[in-house]
């Protein structure tokens, strides 16, 4: 069997299909309609929506009929953007779409990552306000609770804040990209090296190095405003983030949220509020998403959009781990109760 691929045996397959069905049912309850995407596309058609690093990870092959290069789907959001731009789902906005799909990426063998990733996701297309950001994150939270995940955290940020710090510091385009990648990994030593190579002044260096460590609750926003030092793009990013955070808190979600001013997603098309979801015992994110107001514009006209995707395998593992942890805790509690009874 190829590295990074897996056969899901019958018992696990039943659980996975049930999990996917539960997620799609909850997303559908919010008014999102399922779209079924093609497994492969022409490279030249989808390439405008894919960053170069992702194209390098694609599995490609030649179309026997035309000789054109095709690729296995590496990202569902880019496919949906292409579909919307070509007018295939009508012109009435906003559009609410959901999907269940596998994506395929060639990851190094030592990276410990799957090459086939089962995803369930939702996209809210044509709405550009804090209410839309709040809806998609609230939907994600409801999905996780609906399938029984009780202990999770959502990291909430805005890519415009950290990018604004880099622009203000005058980094080159290449330097900015490398700095963003280091910040996404929370690799501060590497970030420091890049800033030194880019000859960034010490005052800007301090602000840039502090941002990835600004994690917490509302106090993070106040510190971010001090780092913004009156810069309009930075303040606008914080204003939007503040509004979404407050809306989510007002909806009763404060306990699962934490703010991260160094938050980045793995794709460069995100340009607004972004988020990742984590569960105890799983060392990587279960999924995430964010705002991508200019991705559809790569295929046609810009349409403001936001969405999320969940890694079904990781979510399944998170639920399984939580279930086993609860079973152990229950047995331990029962054992203590028995001993207490015997001692009385």
Contacts for 336 with CB less than 8 Å, ≥ 6 apart: none
* Contact (CB, 8 A) for 247 and 134: yes
Return the closest-CA partner of residue 122 out of 105, 149, 141, 106.
Answer: 141
Please tell me whether residue 104 adopts helix, strand or coil conformation: strand
- The answer to whether 74 and 38 are in contact (CB under 8 A) is no
Cα–Cα distance between 124 and 223 in angstroms, integer?
31
Q: Per DSSP, what are the bridge partners of residue 291? A: 306
Binding-site positions for L-histidine:
75-77, 105, 119, 123, 265, 269-270
Binding residues, by number, are 75-77, 105, 119, 123, 265, 269-270
Tokens of 201: 């002044």
Cβ contacts of residue 66 below 8 Å, gap of 6+? none
């Amino acid at each position: 069997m190829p590295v990074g691929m897996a056969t899901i045996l019958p018992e696990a397959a039943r659980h996975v299909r049930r999990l996917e069905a539960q997620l799609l049912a909850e997303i559908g309850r919010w008014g999102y309609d399922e779209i079924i995407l093609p497994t492969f596309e022409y490279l030249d058609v989808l390439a405008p929506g894919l960053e170069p690093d992702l194209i390098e990870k694609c599995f490609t092959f030649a179309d026997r009929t035309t000789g054109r290069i095709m690729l296995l789907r590496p990202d569902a959001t880019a496919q949906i953007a292409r579909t919307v731009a070509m007018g295939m789902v009508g012109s009435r906005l906003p559009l609410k779409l959901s999907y269940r799909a596998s994506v395929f990426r060639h990851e190094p063998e030592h990276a410990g990552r799957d090459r086939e990733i089962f995803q369930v996701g939702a996209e809210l297309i044509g709405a550009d306000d804090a209410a839309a950001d709040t809806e998609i994150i609230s939907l994600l939270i409801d999905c996780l609770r609906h399938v029984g995940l009780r202990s999770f955290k959502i990291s909430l940020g805005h890519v415009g804040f950290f990018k604004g710090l880099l622009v203000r510091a005058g980094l080159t385009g290449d330097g900015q990209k490398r700095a963003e990648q280091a910040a996404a990994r929370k690799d501060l030593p590497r970030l420091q090296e890049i800033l030194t190579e880019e000859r960034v002044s010490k005052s800007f260096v301090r602000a840039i190095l502090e941002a990835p460590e600004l994690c917490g609750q509302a106090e993070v926003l106040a510190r971010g405003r001090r780092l913004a030092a009156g810069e309009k793009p930075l303040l606008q990013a914080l204003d939007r983030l503040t509004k979404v955070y407050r809306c989510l808190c007002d909806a009763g979600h404060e306990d699962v949220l934490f703010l991260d001013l160094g938050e980045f997603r793995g794709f460069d098309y995100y340009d607004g509020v972004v988020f990742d979801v984590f569960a105890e015992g799983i060392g990587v994110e279960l999924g995430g998403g964010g705002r991508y107001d200019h991705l559809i514009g790569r295929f046609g006209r810009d349409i403001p959009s936001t969405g999320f995707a969940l890694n079904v395998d990781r979510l399944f593992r998170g639920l399984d781990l939580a279930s086993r942890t609860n079973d152990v805790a229950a047995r331990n509690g029962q054992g203590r109760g028995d001993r207490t009874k015997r001692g009385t």
